């Protein structure tokens, strides 16, 4: 729809991560996890920008609510366009399934980090042992 014909209560949101766009849709209300606490963006709000923390972004549209887990980033509203940029974002069918997916993803990440720490400790130990053998 041409910009001049859009209603005053229309707003479009785009969620962008480093490898592409993960969400683009119309929105009536957006609730986001700001660094100073949760806040809401409505179509008639003035253009502004906010820093985001890790949490759940909720987008309310005419067809219902959509939840998305996001990492740190920024939200910029300019006129009727809202752009969210963050490092990671994960969509969920419902808030419950989203939380389960995030929990599973965090557990997998923690396991990988633990494995990496073990490899680094082993490497450091072997390096120190090699230096001691030289002396």
Domains contained in the chain, number: 2
- Residue-wise pLDDT for 67-125, tens only, equals 999 889 999 999 999 999 998 888 876 777 777 777 777 677 778 888 889 999 999 99
pTM: 0.69
Phi, psi of 93, deg, nearest 5: -65, -40
Residue 126: give the domain boundaries: 94-135
Residues 84 and 40 in one domain: yes
Whether 4 shows a pLDDT value over 60: the answer reads: no
User: With the C-alpha atoms ordered 11, 15, 20, 21, is the resulting torsion angle positive or negative?
Assistant: negative
- Residue-wise pLDDT for 13-34, tens only, equals 999 999 999 999 999 999 999 9
Residues 79 and 17 in one domain: yes
Residues 12 and 71 in one domain: yes
């Amino acid at each position: 729809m041409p910009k001049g014909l859009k209603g005053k209560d229309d707003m479009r949101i785009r969620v962008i991560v480093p490898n592409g766009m993960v969400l683009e849709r119309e929105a009536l209300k957006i609730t986001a996890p700001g660094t100073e606490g949760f806040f809401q963006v409505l179509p008639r709000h003035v253009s502004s920008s906010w820093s985001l923390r890790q949490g759940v972004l909720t987008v309310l549209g005419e067809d219902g609510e959509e939840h998305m887990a996001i990492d740190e980033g920024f939200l910029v509203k300019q006129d009727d366009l809202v752009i969210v940029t963050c490092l990671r974002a994960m969509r969920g069918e419902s808030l419950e399934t989203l939380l389960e997916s995030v929990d599973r993803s965090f557990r997998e990440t923690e396991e990988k980090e633990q494995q990496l720490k073990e490899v680094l400790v082993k490497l450091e130990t072997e390096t120190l042992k090699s230096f001691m053998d030289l002396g």
